[in-house]
A and B are shown apart, each in its own frame.
Chain A
Amino acid sequence: GPKVLQIPSHQIIDMGQMVTLNCDPVSNHLYFYWYKQILGQQMEFLVNFYNGKVMEKSKLFKDQFSVERPDGSYFTLKIQPTALEDSAVYFCASSPDWGRYEQYFGPGTRLTVL
């Protein structure tokens, strides 16, 4: 079936550094999402993105976070600067439309902030 790829699978960085998480969504999908999962906790919505714009963001999507998808390339989540509490697994997802449509998830990027 359709696959979402995430690069890298693991990332270790020092607190205060910038990090970019990359997502290669399903090719004909128009809606993109990031979710955050802290170890032992549930997956939580961060942000969704459509037509070059953020549609909705949660309170977890701090000012240090940004998303973009320049020219149909990777859908990225940038954190600048990182904080210890940003350590988590970040899942990217995409869907052809919103609401009742299936979201296809990537395998996640495990981010460790030291």
Chain B
Amino acid sequence: SYVLTQPPSVSVAPGKTARITCGGTNFLSKSVHWYQQKPGQAPVLVIYYDNDRPSGIPERFSGSNSGNTATLTISRVEAGDEADYYCHMWDSSSDHPGVFGTGTKVTVL
């Protein structure tokens, strides 16, 4: 089945930029979505279809998808951005079509 690999952790100082990668194969034909999950809470969609933002999500969150890597970028990081982040895609050709990335813990220093 499809595997989406993320770095386990990313540390960033307040006001700086955090970049979280999501690696796989043949991303060009698939859309990637991103979720934020804070401790004890349900996930929240922050980026969908590679680089669209749901209403209510700050412009500081953006996404890109190129080659075999998708990236979630958080600009001007705030303490409230500290959370786990997961990428997600659908692979119709797989027997496990819904796939989440391994998850990245973002720590704000």
A is bound by B: no
